[in-house]
């Protein structure tokens, strides 16, 4: 398999959220092989940069030469460069290169430390900006590179034009730090023909995150390594970073860290969920007498991804599992968003216990409920007591009921209700996996009464 490769020339961040570490994660998650040239080693955590050790020009030169003399590199990213020696070394080696270069003009860390020594800003502008295809400043960096104070949207465009005049072909000014209002983030892309593209995204509640700038420039580099044109690469990177910010992790005492592998992780979870659920459905329908447990409204078995937030994050049988004579059959394939009722019960349960991700509804008659009570921890709610305001809201009844049952019995394996006018009594079996739910069904049916 031919793999596209990118090279990141950047500093190491011991907290793992920014720098080289962020670049490797981002590029790898996007399917791009990443080579690394380390310019400096930082000792830092989520609150502070405690120490910086810039590496010598000679070892930086050797790393770049080793990589480029052997490996086909499709795009290069330049991150933290710290001092004049490092700037000159990179510039001398890459100024004639035909490989697309993305420059993330890192001046200081989100936690405050100077990552480019102040006296070298003019060298940075003179030697690195002109050799790049794209420069990706945030608002503060755009102000420093252009010398223009940004007060309004118009000023953002002025800084982009000024930075382009320094020699960069394309410029993206990231608007996360620009607060015209609290609702929107404006990213401004200026392409090599002088055309502006302005992207507006709703501002998320997260105040400050570590690594988002590195994730963005690494993603632009990865998309450019795939030969995607610059503006499109920036738009895709924008979307990608949005997701990695939405899934930040609080790993230390300081600011939360971006999670650039969240997209890939979620996709692989979705695949595993479908696979496991399909296997469980096959087992379920082959259980003798399972059809006896199917209620009039039919059954569904669901499985949610970790951290599921909506019905679209819960897989179920499209249609349902229906009773056909003495057999049970799924009416269609397995899909995310296929169930509403059983899915809302698992979403509610996950608010109490994130490990419990699977559920199945079966009929509630005395015989089944007695057996469940003997075998499991059973929670209960009275559907008849459902307040009018809940009844009126489509789809709220089940979550209301599960919440009540769990408040009395937080470890319930089973939750039952005894129905209401026009509402069939029901039992829901919960488990950490669909296999666990199927095993509970087997236990319920493993009784002389059911033969």
Nearest approach in angstroms of CB 248 to ligand PXL is 14
Q: Which of 42, 89, 358, 397 binds ligand PXL (CB under 6 A)?
A: 42
Q: Which is nearer to ligand PXL, 136 or 416 (CB)?
A: 136
Q: Which of 100, 105, 176, 213 binds ligand PXL (CB under 6 A)?
A: 213
Q: Which is nearer to ligand PXL, 207 or 421 (CB)?
A: 207
Q: Which of 106, 189, 245, 281 binds ligand PXL (CB under 6 A)?
A: 106
Instruction: Please count the residues of this chain forming the interface with ligand PXL, following the rule CB under 6 A.
Output: 15
Q: Which range touches ligand PXL (CB under 6 A), out of 104-112, 140-148, 386-394, 422-430? A: 104-112
Q: Which is nearer to ligand PXL, 118 or 388 (CB)?
A: 118
Q: Which range touches ligand PXL (CB under 6 A), out of 67-75, 107-115, 343-351, 391-399? A: 107-115
Restricted to residues 43-72, the positions that interact with ligand PXL (CB under 6 A) are: 44
Q: Which range touches ligand PXL (CB under 6 A), out of 11-19, 186-194, 281-289, 307-315? A: 11-19
Nearest approach in angstroms of CB 203 to ligand PXL is 19
18 touching ligand PXL, by CB under 6 A: yes
Q: Which of 4, 7, 9, 13 binds ligand PXL (CB under 6 A)?
A: 13
Nearest approach in angstroms of CB 405 to ligand PXL is 46
Q: Which range touches ligand PXL (CB under 6 A), out of 109-117, 291-299, 306-314, 377-385? A: 109-117
273 touching ligand PXL, by CB under 6 A: no
Binding pattern to ligand PXL, positions 112-151, x when CB under 6 A?
---x------------------------------------
11 touching ligand PXL, by CB under 6 A: yes
Nearest approach in angstroms of CB 15 to ligand PXL is 8
Q: Which range touches ligand PXL (CB under 6 A), out of 10-18, 179-187, 216-224, 360-368? A: 10-18
Residue 445 has phi, psi (to 5 degrees) of: -85, -10
| Radius of gyration of the CA atoms of the chain, in A | 28
DSSP H or E segment with residue 378? strand 378-381
Q: SS in 3 state form for the chain?
A: CCCCEEEEEEEEECCCCCHHHHHHHHHHHCCCEEEEEEEEEEEECCCCEEEEEECCHHHHHHHHHHHHCCCCCCEEEECCCECHHHHHHHHHHHCCCCCCEEECCCCECCCCCECECHHHHHHHHHHHHHHCCEECCEHHHHHHHHCCCCCCHHHHHHHHHHHHHCCCCEEEEECCCCCCCCCEEEEEEECCCCCEEEEEEECCCCCCCECHHHHHHHHHHHHHHCCCCHHHHHHHHHHHHHHHHHCCECCCCCCCECCCCHHHHHHHHHHHHHHHHHHHHHHHHHCCCHHHHCCCCCECEEEECCCCCCHHHEEEECCCEEEECCEEEECCCEEECCCCHHHHHHHHHHHHCCCCCEEEEEECCHHHHHHHHHHCCEEEECHHHCCHHHHHCCCCHHHHHHHHHHHHCCCCCEEEECCECCECCEEEEEECCHHHHHHHHHHHHCCHHHC
Q: Which range touches ligand PXL (CB under 6 A), out of 12-20, 302-310, 366-374, 394-402? A: 12-20
Residue ranges in contact with ligand PXL by CB under 6 A: 10-11, 13, 18-19, 42, 44, 79-80, 106, 109-110, 115, 213-214
């Amino acid at each position: 398999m031919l793999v596209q490769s990118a090279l990141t020339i950047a500093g190491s961040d011991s907290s793992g959220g920014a720098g080289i570490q962020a670049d490797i994660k981002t590029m790898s998650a996007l399917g791009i092989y990443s080579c690394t040239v380390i310019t400096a080693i930082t000792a830092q955590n989520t609150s502070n940069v405690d120490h910086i050790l810039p590496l010598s020009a000679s070892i930086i030169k050797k790393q770049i030469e080793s990589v480029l003399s052997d490996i086909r590199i499709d795009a290069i990213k330049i991150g933290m460069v710290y001092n004049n020696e490092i700037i000159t070394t990179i510039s001398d080696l890459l100024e004639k290169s035909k490989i697309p270069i993305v420059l993330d003009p890192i001046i200081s860390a989100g936690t405050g430390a100077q990552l480019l020594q102040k006296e070298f800003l003019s060298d940075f502008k003179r030697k690195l900006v002109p050799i790049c295809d794209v420069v990706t400043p945030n608002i503060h960096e755009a102000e420093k590179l252009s010398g223009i104070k940004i007060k309004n949207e118009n000023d953002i465009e002025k800084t982009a034009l000024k930075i382009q005049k320094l020699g960069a072909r394309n410029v993206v000014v990231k608007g996360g730090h620009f607060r015209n209002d609290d609702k929107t983030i404006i990213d401004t892309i200026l392409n090599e023909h002088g055309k502006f593209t302005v992207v507006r995204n709703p501002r998320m509640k997260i105040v400050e995150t570590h690594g988002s700038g590195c994730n963005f420039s690494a993603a632009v580099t990865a998309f450019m390594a795939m030969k995607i044109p610059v503006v499109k690469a920036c738009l895709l990177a924008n979307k990608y970073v949005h997701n990695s910010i939405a899934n930040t992790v609080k790993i230390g005492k300081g600011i939360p860290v971006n999670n650039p592998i969240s997209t890939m992780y979620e996709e692989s979870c979705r695949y595993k969920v479908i696979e496991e659920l399909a296997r469980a459905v096959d087992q379920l329908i082959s259980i003798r007498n399972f059809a006896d447990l199917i209620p009039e409204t039919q059954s569904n078995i669901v499985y949610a991804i970790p951290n599921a937030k909506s019905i679209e994050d819960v897989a179920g049988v499209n249609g349902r599992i229906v009773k056909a004579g003495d057999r049970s059959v799924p009416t269609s394939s397995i899909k995310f968003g296929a169930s509403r009722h059983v899915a809302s019960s698992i979403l509610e349960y996950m608010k109490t216990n994130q490990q419990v991700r699977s559920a199945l509804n079966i009929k509630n008659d005395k015989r089944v409920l007695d057996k469940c009570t003997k075998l499991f921890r059973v929670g209960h709610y009275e559907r008849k007591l459902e307040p009018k305001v809940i009844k009126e809201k489509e789809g709220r009844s089940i979550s209301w009921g599960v919440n009540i049952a769990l408040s009395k019995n937080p470890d319930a394996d089973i939750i039952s209700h005894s129905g209401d006018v026009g509402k069939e009594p029901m039992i829901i079996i919960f488990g950490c996996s669909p296999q666990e739910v199927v095993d509970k069904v087997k236990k319920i049916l493993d009784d002389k009464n059911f033969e």
